[in-house]
Structure 1
Amino acid sequence: MLDPDLAFGEPVDDFSHCGTGECRVNTLPVLYRLNQVISESSGLADALRIILDIMRVSLRMDRGIITLYDRRSDTIFIHESFGLTDEERKRGIYAPGEGITGKVVESGQAIVVPRLSESADFLNRTGSPESERRAKAAFICVPIMLGKKVLGTIAGERVYRSRLLLKQDAEFIAAIALMIAPLAELYLIANVEKVALETENLRLRNELKERYQPANIIGNSKPMQEVYELIRKVSTSRATVLILGESGVGKELVAGAIHYSSAASEGPFVKFNCAAIPENLAESGLFGHEKGAFTGALAAHKGSFEQADGGTIFLDEVGELTLAVQAKLLRVLQERVIERVGGSRPLKVDVRIIAATNRDLAAMVERGEFREDLYYRLYVVPITVPPLRDRGSDVILLTDHFVAQSSRANHKSIKRISTPALNMLMAYHWPGNVRELENVIERAVILSDDDVIHGYNLPPSLQTSDETGTTFGVSLESKIHAVEYEMIVEALKSSNGNVGLAANELGLTRRMLGLRMERYGISYKTFRTGTPPRR
């Protein structure tokens, strides 16, 4: 790992490094200070501060990273660093064996990479920006070990023109890692609960960000591309956003994508469903209450706006709020000030508001059911999420996603969806949108007996002529015809239109299969061209 003959592909300068200004003798006083800190048991924080100073000033590193290994969660995370932003540092989470850092923890052996651009193991999990200098940089990563137990790593990154200097620095950092190993173990023992919570918090934040990233909202249709573009634009601002769309289209996903792509992404993302809270509790839920404000208020309570301070509040089904609560919400939008129920002290909140509704707020304003001034305060940047019936081939993309998701959850192995089932899914008008599709697919996965989703695994509503434009109803005889039709189609599809092979697969004679194909208007030629059959 620490190879003295590392090749750089360019001239090597085995000169005295003191002559170039990179004299390692200058590190001796700093090492003496580090040894004093360790001997006085001043704690890990003081020791790491000195180590990072050595790496930045004396070793002229561009980046320095110290990770700790939490054995309980089997997770490696960045504990201290320089040259990284807070955002980059929080993304630096690894599992043993994952990337260079994970391999060092797993093996207990140092790894030196002469050029990052030539390493397949370098993941850049932190997302640090690429540059020409960084492509030429070397990466040193050594384990912090006590006995045979790996406690973490020390890693540094910089450009080297001398293989000798790279080797010396790698050995130097390895020596430092040995010196601080006792302090690292004491820290992990004393802070095991804190480390576990910190690791879990970082993991959950990263999971949430991945879940709500616009790229992970499934769909490539033109209407969804327009939604993605609006998300990108509003994420750079603090403007109030009103998300419009039918029930089940994914308004919450859009709200989450806006928050986690914004400058407030490190703050909380608090969801408040205005339709799920009884009218008499909505005000307390939003703005909080003081102790004794009403019967049952045994203690003071922070409302959703206070909980979202420094982040984003998502008001789902905002059209369900009463006029009285609407008036208080208007004040928050105008002044960013709330007042708890039973309280007299105004509280400032720094919060972005994203609202959503499936109702026609403009019509409600005309009927006097929604405040006009609040409507215009919310209607700053409207985003309309299209219904599933207007998203074309997105139905297939979403179906594949939900099949994989439901298969994992139900321990099934669904390998494909039959052509008739796909035809039914594409023909249906999806009044419940994406939420309905998810439920339909979960049902089909559970009912499937042969790792294939067939048309007869789908609900009756998708199989009637009124809903799908097909010729089969839901009577017993029609259901039998539907199953028979689908089995014939699948056999012809798998045999590439060879009637003899299809008949053998179905246990029929060629003549019997021909009669059934004639009954349903199926032509073997359709399957030789690859064109999906139509009933």
Structure 2
Amino acid sequence: MNGLSSFESGWPIFLTTLTRIIQETGPNIPVRQGLENILGTLVSNLGYRRVHLELFDLPRKNAKISLDRGRDPSIAHLYGPGPLATGQVMATRRTLVIEDVKDHPDFLGRPAEELATLSFLCVPIPAPRPGPAGQPAPETPDDLSDQDGALGTLSVDIPKAPPVFLEAHCDFLTVVAALVSSLSLRLRDELTRPRRRAPSPAAEPEESREHAVKPPVAVSKGMRLVIRQVAQSTTSSTPVLFRGEEGTGKEFLAELLHAQSPRRQRPFLRLGCGSEPPEAVEDALFGVQKGEASESSRSRRGLFELAQGGTVFLDDIEELSPAAQTAVSRVIHEGAVQRKGGQSPVAVDVRIVAATSAPLGELMATGEFLEDLYYGLSVLPIYVPPLRDRAGDILPLAEHFLAEYSQKLGKPLRRISTPAIDLLNQYHWPGNVRELASCMERAAMLCDEGVVRTYHLPPTLQTAESSNTGPSLSFGEAVAKFEQELLVEALKKARGNMFQAARDLRESYRVVNYKVKKYGIDPKRFTMGRRG
């Protein structure tokens, strides 16, 4: 089977599904939970009626692990795969496709109306491969180390479809089965290791829990470059400047940078430089020393002192006052701050990460932004492209947000309809990722049918075709109607004075007079105090 041609029509949803599966089976997620996440993702993303996973001889010989997930959780466990189908796959180690299940003995007892609409796919889960040459093979039972055997089966009940469609899904399930195989050794270790008492919450540093950052969604070439630049910036303490439009995710990337850096166990503190008056921002950043000079009865540490050893994120840094810019530059170059009213500097060890949507180079040229601070921040500049320039990220991000809000709202939202996807891809997203997140939150709140459709999206995304509001006038008629409205408004404002209306419209009296006669408008109607 040609994998490329089989995947050609469905590769976007397969790629999105595989990306989500990889994210939900990471090294920090228990394997048992990861396997359940795989089944749930297959049901929600690909529309399978049921998914069933069987693993044999785990964690020991003659043991069996069976997991299932269905669109109706209350009955999913009643309709597992039959022994004939799975036995055939285990014996032959080949994929099994049953296009019509109603006459197969494994499916006897199910409702006839369901059998008439189902096909069945089953793929073998290969035994895990040994490690690379030159490395010792992992310690495994004999059954797992048999490279020619099958470890189990992955099977799905899928709505009836043409054979080429079913073959494409078989190819994809084979990839998923290989992923499950790679998890089998970890699963065996989890099931056989001695039980340990769970650590108390105090054992985990508070900062590490607070700043756990979800994996970024980056499909487009531009966003993958950004993620690569963030990864390259994690090992040093050099300031980083994120540039880009509002709503592109600069704060998320700053949190990601901190979470991947050696400072991740220390605080990550943020401040919007334009959110408070300049004096309040300076007090928040650098602190206050009690005394007559500061007119304060108590001392307060600023963000740079509170974030000792960690990261300070300064959003909209172009909003800083000149005095604050000078003080931040001193932190970069000297590693010290001076509190308001203080006599001596305080040493600090922090990494500064800044973000801006303004052209700092132009502001520096006009003297509005400090040159020393500009060059201090621009050692590692990272440009975050707007969402309209990375169209490949729109659908994966939309599905990510939909899954997030679906979980929060407790709604089983499975997918986005094709017409709705077209609207998402056609829109120019002036608010970038922030606007997309808001859009999907609205859709999740309004949707009660499991599928997000065009009418669940905001009016700003609607087209004339999707909202059935196409123009009923010709181009010439629409122009004429617009001209009439402009003339009437100008005459109203000028109280019927044609000369004043012409001046307001920045047009000659001759043209205005001609248009007024053409459209049959009576200027006297707008004269104040006219008697009827």
Give the TM-score, by structure 1 length: 0.51
Check if 1:383 corresponds to 2:382. yes
Q: Indicate the residue corresponding to 1:198 in structure 2.
A: 203
Q: Indicate the residue corresponding to 2:406 in structure 1.
A: 407
Letter in structure 2 aligned against 1:404: A
Secondary structure in structure 1 of the residue aligned to 2:391: coil
Letter in structure 2 aligned against 1:208: H
Q: Indicate the residue corresponding to 2:231 in structure 1.
A: 232
Distance of aligned partners of 1:294 and 1:423 in 2 relative to their CA distance in 1, 3 Å threshold = farther
Q: Indicate the residue corresponding to 1:317 in structure 2.
A: 316
Secondary structure in structure 1 of the residue aligned to 2:269: strand
Q: Indicate the residue corresponding to 2:362 in structure 1.
A: 363
Quote the Cα distance in structure 2 between the aligned partners of 1:474 and 1:299: 66
Letter in structure 2 aligned against 1:393: G
Conserved 8 A contact 1:245-1:358: yes
Conserved 8 A contact 1:421-1:454: yes
Check if 1:326 corresponds to 2:325. yes
Using the TM superposition, give the Cα deviation of residue 137 of structure 1 relative to its aligned residue in structure 2, in angstroms.
9.7
Quote the Cα distance in structure 2 between the aligned partners of 1:319 and 1:413: 43
Secondary structure in structure 2 of the residue aligned to 1:345: coil
Q: Indicate the residue corresponding to 2:352 in structure 1.
A: 353
Using the TM superposition, give the Cα deviation of residue 206 of structure 1 relative to its aligned residue in structure 2, in angstroms.
4.9
Distance of aligned partners of 1:266 and 1:449 in 2 relative to their CA distance in 1, 3 Å threshold = closer
Q: How does 1:386-465 map to 2 (within 5 A)?
A: 386-465=385-464
Secondary structure in structure 2 of the residue aligned to 1:393: helix
Quote the Cα distance in structure 1 between the aligned partners of 2:274 and 2:308: 22
Q: Indicate the residue corresponding to 1:280 in structure 2.
A: 279
Secondary structure in structure 1 of the residue aligned to 2:355: strand
Using the TM superposition, give the Cα deviation of residue 349 of structure 1 relative to its aligned residue in structure 2, in angstroms.
0.7
**Structure 1, unaligned runs of 5 or more:** 1-90, 100-112, 120-130, 139-173, 189-193, 477-535
Distance of aligned partners of 1:443 and 1:272 in 2 relative to their CA distance in 1, 3 Å threshold = same
Q: How does 1:51-200 map to 2 (within 5 A)?
A: 132=135, 135-136=138-139, 195-199=200-204
Conserved 8 A contact 1:221-1:394: yes
Using the TM superposition, give the Cα deviation of residue 293 of structure 1 relative to its aligned residue in structure 2, in angstroms.
6.0
Letter in structure 2 aligned against 1:198: A
Quote the Cα distance in structure 1 between the aligned partners of 2:137 and 2:376: 47
Check if 1:248 corresponds to 2:247. yes
**Structure 2, unaligned runs of 5 or more:** 1-25, 35-58, 66-133, 142-193, 473-532
Distance of aligned partners of 1:439 and 1:97 in 2 relative to their CA distance in 1, 3 Å threshold = closer
Q: Indicate the residue corresponding to 1:307 in structure 2.
A: 306
Distance of aligned partners of 1:470 and 1:410 in 2 relative to their CA distance in 1, 3 Å threshold = closer
Using the TM superposition, give the Cα deviation of residue 93 of structure 1 relative to its aligned residue in structure 2, in angstroms.
8.8
Distance of aligned partners of 1:93 and 1:408 in 2 relative to their CA distance in 1, 3 Å threshold = closer
Letter in structure 1 aligned against 2:341: G
Letter in structure 2 aligned against 1:228: I
Which of 200, 209, 212 lines up with 2:212 in the alignment? 209
Distance of aligned partners of 1:419 and 1:133 in 2 relative to their CA distance in 1, 3 Å threshold = closer
Using the TM superposition, give the Cα deviation of residue 298 of structure 1 relative to its aligned residue in structure 2, in angstroms.
3.8
Letter in structure 2 aligned against 1:271: R
Using the TM superposition, give the Cα deviation of residue 262 of structure 1 relative to its aligned residue in structure 2, in angstroms.
1.6
Using the TM superposition, give the Cα deviation of residue 362 of structure 1 relative to its aligned residue in structure 2, in angstroms.
0.9
Conserved 8 A contact 1:224-1:385: yes
Using the TM superposition, give the Cα deviation of residue 134 of structure 1 relative to its aligned residue in structure 2, in angstroms.
8.5
Using the TM superposition, give the Cα deviation of residue 361 of structure 1 relative to its aligned residue in structure 2, in angstroms.
0.6
Q: Indicate the residue corresponding to 2:79 in structure 1.
A: none
Conserved 8 A contact 2:242-2:355: yes
Secondary structure in structure 2 of the residue aligned to 1:407: helix
Conserved 8 A contact 1:463-1:474: no
Q: Indicate the residue corresponding to 1:522 in structure 2.
A: none
Q: How does 1:260-275 map to 2 (within 5 A)?
A: 260-275=259-274
Quote the Cα distance in structure 1 between the aligned partners of 2:230 and 2:337: 28
Distance of aligned partners of 1:354 and 1:198 in 2 relative to their CA distance in 1, 3 Å threshold = same
- Cα RMSD (Å) of the superposition? 4.0
Conserved 8 A contact 1:460-1:474: no
Alignment identity in percent? 38
Using the TM superposition, give the Cα deviation of residue 324 of structure 1 relative to its aligned residue in structure 2, in angstroms.
1.4
Q: Indicate the residue corresponding to 2:71 in structure 1.
A: none
Secondary structure in structure 2 of the residue aligned to 1:403: helix
Conserved 8 A contact 1:274-1:315: yes
Quote the Cα distance in structure 1 between the aligned partners of 2:467 and 2:439: 21
Letter in structure 2 aligned against 1:135: P
Conserved 8 A contact 1:310-1:351: yes
Using the TM superposition, give the Cα deviation of residue 457 of structure 1 relative to its aligned residue in structure 2, in angstroms.
1.4
Q: How many residues align?
A: 306
Letter in structure 1 aligned against 2:302: G
Q: Indicate the residue corresponding to 2:56 in structure 1.
A: none
Distance of aligned partners of 1:260 and 1:93 in 2 relative to their CA distance in 1, 3 Å threshold = closer
Secondary structure in structure 2 of the residue aligned to 1:374: helix
Conserved 8 A contact 2:454-2:466: no
Quote the Cα distance in structure 1 between the aligned partners of 2:33 and 2:223: 35
Using the TM superposition, give the Cα deviation of residue 367 of structure 1 relative to its aligned residue in structure 2, in angstroms.
2.2
Letter in structure 1 aligned against 2:415: R
Quote the Cα distance in structure 2 between the aligned partners of 1:207 and 1:253: 13
Letter in structure 1 aligned against 2:307: A
Conserved 8 A contact 2:294-2:341: no
Conserved 8 A contact 2:211-2:268: no
